[in-house]
Amino acid sequence: MLLIALLSLVAGALTVLAPCVLPFLPIIVGGSLKGGSRARPFLVAGSLIASLFAFTLLLKATTLLIHIDPRVWSYLSGGLVIILGIMMLIPGLWAGLMERTRLGNKSHELLHNAQKEKGGTLSAILTGAALGPVFSSCSPTYAWVIATVLPAKPAVGLFYLVMYCIGLVSVLLAVSLLGRALVTKLGWAANPSGWFQRALAVLFIIVGLIVFTGTDKKIEAKIVDTFPGLYQIEQTLLPVGSPNSGASDKASADPNDFSVPAPELVGLTDWINSKPLTLEELRGKVVLIDFWTYSCINCIRTQPYLNSWYDTYHDKGLVIIGVHAPEFAFEKVPANVQRAVKEENIKYPVALDNDFETWRAYRNQYWPAKYLIDKDGNVRFAHFGEGGYSKMEQKIKDLLGDKGSQLAKPKQVEQVTPGQSPETYLGTKRADPSQFQSQPALTDGEHTFKQADSLPVNGWSLNGDWRVDEEKATALQDGATLTYRFNGKQLFLVLGPEAEAGANPKVRVSVEGKDNAGGDDVRDGTVQIDSHRLYRLVRLPEPEVGTLVTITFDKGVSANAFTFG
């Protein structure tokens, strides 16, 4: 996030340094240089920033009303930043586009009309407002704002916009007040064919590719893990009390120091264990909203705690609502969710959020995620991912006014192994290309893969005939294999039968060439694939490093994602 903020600052500065604007800025805003109004540069700058803010926030407000999968924004914003980098790398492309569309001429006509207005103050304000279209047509760098502000959460997007405006107004005022001497000195930065703008163009393209592929999330998580102090810096720069912050923004603060009205449940269907519920009718109850999906191992490991809390506190006024937001297409099927609810012995209400409407209302980003709502309908505590169970339960007790009960002790809780392999997707949408070791490369369609001679840790390989799509890889022949070298104690894999599968399809699991996988779903080295769900394939006596697992598929069995424990 800090890199995006810094690049936003630079993008704002470069907007002013567009070759078609820079030479005229001292004339446009420099009325104070020769006895003119000393307030003029500040009026122009203030008017320009106000117009940019209004236009950008209007765009942002519009996008909040459009129900788009958050991953789509990654593709759009990353692609836009890549295009911006290409335009900067080859400046003639943008100039040619402006010449053919005549947008540059129209924007300069608007600026010329503003300059002719009588009255110093009005002229300055109109000039500032007119500079907006001039900058956006002459310089492509406003695309950076669109690419970073629109996809981000409101508080984060506002921060990027502020950084952009700081860069813009700093250079604008500097040129206005210091005049052509500064213009000459800034020639190295303003030159579209110079080393500075070309280097920045390459950086924009790299950042765009990182955002487009989703690698930015992995990099950010790695950086935070390595330098945890950076998280506190970001929280200082982005106060959670921003009026544009949602429930998830507030939840990152001290859990005892925030209270925000809980968004209503919207778009939920196929209620299980209950009639449809609303938060309005549950006023007076303490409500725990749990976002989950049934094939997610993190959600599965959390489930015993939820069941225990329900058993312990339901009669004391706690209502738990499981909002099932699907990660894969088969998780949208009500019958599949109903079966999972029964297998996990879930007694509290569960509803399907297949269109992610309640997910978006809470601005949620995680599986699992828990939002605790008090009797007045305010979110008072939240936790994302696994862990934090004692704090959550203590907050439940506090909101219920329960002083006597001991903290519940759930049964059959699987533990996370330190240093375990990361979640690994097998579909093209979210697969990490660096982990895939077979030939040819992993792309959509039907392929005959050749197994890699050796695998690095966290590497995986396919062998035989497979059909690959955005979510999964499906075996097209009996005996096709999938291998993975992992760190940890347990290995899980989301599997399911597709249309090509015959009766009673199976997979066979071997660990280092032996049939002693030990997973709960394995019998004599074989797993019966009866439905789309997460299967427990490997359980070692102790965590190990670099364990090689080979899975042999029957035709028609698909695999979505590995997780580990």
Does residue 165 form part of some domain?
yes
What is the band of 177 on the pLDDT scale with cuts at 50, 70, 90?
Answer: low
Q: Are both 13 and 94 inside the same structural domain?
A: yes
Highest averaged pLDDT of the listed ranges 105-114, 148-157, 167-176, 501-510: 501-510
Average pLDDT, whole number, for the chain?
Answer: 75
Does residue 229 form part of some domain?
no
Amino acid at site 530? D
Does 104 score more than 70 pLDDT?
no
Instruction: Answer yes or no: are the C-beta atoms of 352 and 322 closer than 8 Å.
Output: no
Q: What angle do CA 232, 237, 241 make, to 5 degrees?
A: 95
Residue 430 has which token pair? Answer: 């979210």
For residue 521, the SS3 value is coil
Q: Residue 536 maps to which CATH number?
A: 2.60.120.260
Q: What is the pLDDT of residues 18-47, one digit of tens each?
A: 555 554 555 455 544 444 556 766 777 777
Q: Are both 434 and 389 inside the same structural domain?
A: no
Instruction: Answer yes or no: are the C-beta atoms of 468 and 425 closer than 8 Å.
Output: no
CA 1 – CA 494 distance, rounded (Å): 32
For residue 522, the SS3 value is coil
Residue 90 has which token pair? Answer: 């080859």
Does residue 81 form part of some domain?
yes
CA 367 – CA 293 distance, rounded (Å): 7
pLDDT for the residue 429:
87
CA 94 – CA 20 distance, rounded (Å): 12
| 95 CB-contact burial (10 Å; exposed 0-12 / middle 13-18 / buried 19+) | middle
pLDDT for the residue 469:
92
Q: What angle do CA 362, 288, 298 make, to 5 degrees?
A: 80
The closest alpha carbon to 562, from 465, 489, 486, belongs to 486
In the chain, the number of structural domains is: 3
Does 510 score more than 70 pLDDT?
yes
CA 301 – CA 101 distance, rounded (Å): 57
Amino acid at site 163? M
Bond from prior residue into 41 cis (ω within 30 degrees of 0)? no
| Reduced 3-state DSSP string for 236-262 | HHCCCCCCCCCHHHHHCCCCCCCCEEC
pLDDT > 70: what percent of the chain?
Answer: 59
pLDDT for the residue 72:
53
Classify strands 318-324 and 286-292 as parallel, antiparallel or unpaired.
parallel
* 67 DSSP assignment: -
Last residue of a domain, one of 157, 191, 223: 223
User: For the whole model, what pTM was predicted?
Assistant: 0.55
Instruction: Answer yes or no: are the C-beta atoms of 130 and 111 closer than 8 Å.
Output: yes
pLDDT for the residue 135:
56
Q: Are both 380 and 325 inside the same structural domain?
A: yes
Does residue 237 form part of some domain?
no
Q: Are both 166 and 22 inside the same structural domain?
A: yes
Q: Are both 280 and 136 inside the same structural domain?
A: no
Residue 50 has which token pair? Answer: 């106000």
Q: Are both 103 and 197 inside the same structural domain?
A: yes
Q: Are both 175 and 299 inside the same structural domain?
A: no
Instruction: Answer yes or no: are the C-beta atoms of 242 and 158 closer than 8 Å.
Output: yes
Count the Cβ atoms, other than its own, within 10 Å of residue 75. Answer: 16
Q: Are both 359 and 483 inside the same structural domain?
A: no
Q: Phi and psi (nearest 5°) for 523?
A: -125, 115
- Please count the CA atoms within 13 angstroms of the CA of 120 that sit on its side-chain side: 13
Q: Are both 215 and 276 inside the same structural domain?
A: no
Q: Residue 351 maps to which CATH number?
A: 3.40.30.10
What is the band of 155 on the pLDDT scale with cuts at 50, 70, 90?
Answer: low
Does residue 410 form part of some domain?
no
Does residue 235 form part of some domain?
no
CA 206 – CA 210 distance, rounded (Å): 6
Q: Are both 164 and 50 inside the same structural domain?
A: yes
Mean pLDDT of 291-297: 91
Mean pLDDT of 357-380: 90
| Domain span holding position 311 | 247-400
The mean-pLDDT minimum among 14-18, 210-214, 265-269 falls in 210-214
Mean pLDDT of 182-199: 60
